[in-house]
Structure 1
Amino acid sequence: MEQRRSILTCPIWGHRAVETMPVDACVCRYECRSCGTTLTPKKGDCCVFCSYGSVPCPPVQVSRTARLSRWLEDGRVVVWWEIDDLPHAKVCGLDDRTDRLR
């Protein structure tokens, strides 16, 4: 079972905040509550939780368990997993309107 809470640590001043991660989207922008810096994912990560969190996002937690994910050339990531022996897949791509991967 994946974890839903992660501690985000700002790389500028080290401020830490406990946040709840969405299970259906990846968060691509997060504003530090202390210094106001906008955090974005590091290259190769799908979201700020994977880059700056104590726990990666739920889709990555699942894909790491299953070891089934890959990056596409256009920057989207494909994640596969199984629930009750049924295969599931999700393609995450940046949605400019929500600043989340969908």
Structure 2
Amino acid sequence: MILESMITCPQCGFQALETMPTNACQYFYDCKGCGALLKPNAGDCCVFCSFGTVPCPPIQADGGQGGCCSSA
């Protein structure tokens, strides 16, 4: 399982390598570049699934089939 994801702010393009929580989805993220509060896109469970290079651990564990904690 991959626990680090490069998250990219859709507003300013700032990128940061972040460690994802393994026991929950992260719904909010404060951009370290512009301060924008990021929320998941419609249909995504967390900010890593919307703006990261790697899907969150619950999605990885389910083989990418959408079995995340917030949709269960």
Q: Same fold (TM over 0.5)?
A: yes
**1:37-56 matched pairs, under 5 angstroms:** 37-56=36-55
Structure 1 ranges of 4+ moved more than 2 A? 66-70
Structure with a larger share of its residues in helix: 2
Q: Percent identity?
A: 46
| Structure 1 unpaired stretches of 5+ | 71-75, 79-102
Q: Summarize the Cα distance change of 1:37–1:61 in structure 2 as closer, same or farther, 3 Å threshold.
A: same
TM-score normalised by the chain length of structure 2: 0.90
Q: Which has the higher contact order (CA 8 A, sep 6+)?
A: 2
Shift of 1:66: 7.0
**1:30-41 matched pairs, under 5 angstroms:** 30-41=29-40
Within 2, Cα distance between the matches of 1:6 and 1:77? 21
Would the aligned equivalents of 2:59 and 2:65 in 1 still touch at CA under 8 Å? no
Instruction: Look at both structures and tell me which one has the larger radius of gyration over its CA atoms.
Output: 1
Aligned-pair Cα RMSD in Å: 1.7
> Secondary structure at 1:13's aligned position in 2?
coil
Shift of 1:68: 6.5
Shift of 1:49: 0.2
